[in-house]
Amino acid sequence: MKYDIQPGVKGLIFDLDGTLADTMPYHFQGWQVACKKYGATIDTSFLRLHTGSPGWLIASEIIENSGLEGKVTVEEILNEKIEQFYRLQHNVKEIKPVTDIVRKYHGKLPMAVGTGGHREAVKRTLQITGLSQYFDIIVTANDVDNFKPHPETFLKCAEMMKVEPSAIEVFEDGDLGLEAARTAGMTGTDVRSWYDSNW
C-alpha cells in the first residue's frame, strides 16, 4: 500500500514493535515461554491491550493476574522473556509499508523512534532490520518516567527533534500509543491494517 504523510507535518515519530518491525509474534512467544516456566498464563488479547507498555509493567500484571505474588518476581519473569526474545530476534523483519515512509522522508524531515521497549532490545531490533541508520533520536522506556498512554515519550521526541507537537505525525500499532499521540497534540496514524502479523 502507498501512504503519504498528513498535510503540514514537519516531523515523524515511529513506534518500533509492531510498527517499524514485526517483533510482536516473537515478544508473544517469549512471554508464553516465561509464563509457562513460572505457572502463569497470557493470551494475545492481553498483550494487544498492553502494546506499548514496558516489559516490567506487563510482567507485574501477569504476576497479579495469575496470583503469583510472592512466588515469582517481576525480574525473573521478565529476564526469562527477554532471553527467549533474544533467541528469536534474528527472525524479525521490517514492516515495509511503514519503513517505506522512513526511507522516503529520511534527510527531508526530522524523525524519531518513540517506544516503550527496553533500550538494548530496541537497539538490537533496529540493527537487525537495518533501520538504525535512519534514526538519531530514539526514546525508550529507559529514558522516561511515564509510559504510554502518557505523552512523555512523544513529547521528549518532539523536544529533541525541535518540532512543535502539533506538526508531528506519529505512527503506532497500539491503543496506548495512539492515545499518547492525541494527548501530546500530535496526529496519530494507526498502522495495524497495513500488514498481516501472525500473532
Question: In sequence order, which residues have a C-beta less than 8 Å from that of residue 98 and are 6 or more positions away?
Answer: 14, 19, 20, 171, 191, 194
Of 4, 15, 100, 196, the catalytic one is: 15
For cell 525508550, what's the residue? 140
Are the C-beta atoms of residues 133 and 150 closer than 8 Å to each other?
Answer: no
Kindly state the cell numbers that stand for 185.
497534540
| Integer Cα distance of 30 and 34 in angstroms | 6
Question: In sequence order, which residues have a C-beta less than 8 Å from that of residue 79 and are 6 or more positions away?
Answer: none
For cell 527467549, what's the residue? 84
What is the identity of the amino acid at 87? R
The question of whether 15 is a catalytic residue gets the answer yes
| Length reported for the chain | 199
State the DSSP code for 53: S
Kindly state the cell numbers that stand for 82.
527477554
- List the catalytic residues: 15
